[in-house]
Structure 1
């Protein structure tokens, strides 16, 4: 019979890349959605509506009448997108080591670029959602959030994994 210490296997010091990508993507998504809720809440937009607006990328306007199912779809979709963003940085850093040596600068540029790519290219041109015009202040807050909550953490996670 195995002893208790032999049967218990904690996570390895550096978990697999997929684990880091999903955990980083989940954390970034939840923090970014908290920023969105803090901005939109005082303007009368319920948090559920934020998740449904993400589900609208796939479902279009029907997402807003889908109830809890489309709220969950929006959450899962956004975590998936940001997990992909986290993993993509790691792949880019394998080809360009400067991304690991300068995680704050490179991560900041990456975060701002990912915001632009997702919300100014993919969502308006490739999703079922109807593009909405937003004030420049909203875009500035989003870029800052993507720099601080997505890009820099992606760079730091990639750097940890490269060790």
Structure 2
């Protein structure tokens, strides 16, 4: 039997870790490409409210983008944390499974979430940009989720079941 509140709490923490690690990689890359942190998060908000509204919305739209980025990260972490009950390999092999989870997250975001959003869908225009986007999902998103999930799930074990043997 799973401990739902504990796993929800772990999902939140793991999602926050993944959100921060991913942006620690993404924001410097985007800065080199000429985009401010505010523009990066406005672009994320644009998926929900449209590009013109988000890009003209200043700090409030950037904060909305932070919210959506964090929400997506927490949901992705929650899926991984709860799946680990049925797929213990997720915790036994966190590096391999984290990298594979990063691939899955890239595919879902690139070919599912973004095309269904209010953003104009386009794959990265150069091999370098594709490599950066793909690699970021593997190393700075999937991997931190798997490693943090393993660490936190092993660090705070669920209470042991009560034995029913008579003395």
Range class of TM-score, shorter chain: 0.7 to 0.9
* 2:77 alignment partner in structure 1: 86
Q: Is the 8 A contact 2:10 2:81 kept in 1?
A: no
Aligned-residue CA RMSD in angstroms? 1.8
Whether 2:115 is the aligned partner of 1:108: answer no
Could you list the runs of 4 or more consecutive aligned residues of structure 1 that deviate by over 3 angstroms after TM superposition?
A: none
Normalization by structure 1: what TM-score? 0.81
Q: Is the 8 A contact 2:90 2:97 kept in 1?
A: yes
Q: Count matched residues.
A: 148
* 2:134 alignment partner in structure 1: 143
* 2:49 alignment partner in structure 1: 59
Normalization by structure 2: what TM-score? 0.79
Distance 2:88 2:108 in 1: 22
In the TM superposition, residue 117 of structure 1 has moved relative to its aligned partner by 0.8
Stretches of structure 1 that go unaligned for 5 or more consecutive residues are 1-14
Distance change (3 Å), C-alpha of 1:105 and 1:82: same
Equivalent position SS for 1:81: helix
Distance 1:46 1:53 in 2: 11
In the TM superposition, residue 133 of structure 1 has moved relative to its aligned partner by 4.3
Q: Is the 8 A contact 1:25 1:82 kept in 2?
A: yes
Stretches of structure 2 that go unaligned for 5 or more consecutive residues are 158-167
